[in-house]
Amino acid sequence: MEAVQTFGRKKTATAVAHCKRGRGLIRVNGAPLELLEPAILKFKVYEVLLLLGEERFANVDIRIRVQGGGVVSQVYAIRQALAKSIVAFYQKYVDEASKKEIKEILVQYDRTLLVADPRRCEPKKFGGPGARARFQKSYR
């Protein structure tokens, strides 16, 4: 069976994409991509499809599981997993030239589609309400 498994990450959200030969289905947590909420962020995921064109996704089925993080982080994790899975699939089962072409298009548009963002939340320290802020000084 021709299949690849890739992941996308953003903060604490992790999306795992399972890409195999099929008829163009893309599902997120068992639901079709059209039902992705919030509607405004849906287009962030569609960017990958619009950049590469529907025909590249016509012969593959992609199932994505996502967990952790908030809604925005999950959407960014999903789009990264989607982009990485199509690149991995083309590298493994199609040819190197088309994989290179796909990668060029994606990186030129937005590097975070293939490379994870390493920024994380800084831990809170003692002596203050947050990571950097200190408690207010009072003399009385």
Beta carbons within 8 Å of 21's beta carbon, 6+ residues apart: 1, 2, 3, 59, 60, 61, 93
Per-residue tokens: 93:
């089962």
> Does residue 78 register a pLDDT over 90?
yes
Q: What is the mean pLDDT of residues 97-113?
A: 91
Give the model's confidence band at 1: pLDDT under 50 very low, under 70 low, under 90 confident, else very high. confident
Peptide bond into 38 cis (omega under 30): yes
pLDDT of residue 26: 93
What CA–CA distance (Å, rounded) separates 123 from 136? 19
> Does residue 94 register a pLDDT over 90?
no
pLDDT of residue 18: 96
> Does residue 133 register a pLDDT over 90?
yes
> Does residue 132 register a pLDDT over 90?
yes
Q: What is the mean pLDDT of residues 49-70?
A: 92
Q: What is the mean pLDDT of residues 10-22?
A: 95
φ, ψ for residue 11, nearest 5 deg: 50, -115
What CA–CA distance (Å, rounded) separates 76 from 32? 17
In this structure, is the dihedral angle defined by the CA atoms of residues 40, 45, 49 and 52, taken in order, positive or negative?
positive
One-character DSSP codes across 76-99: HHHHHHHHHHHHHHHHHHS-HHHH
Helix, strand, coil % in the chain, rounded to nearest 5: 45, 20, 35
Q: The tokens 């953003």 sit on which residue?
A: 10
pLDDT of residue 38: 87
pTM: 0.90
Give the model's confidence band at 138: pLDDT under 50 very low, under 70 low, under 90 confident, else very high. very high
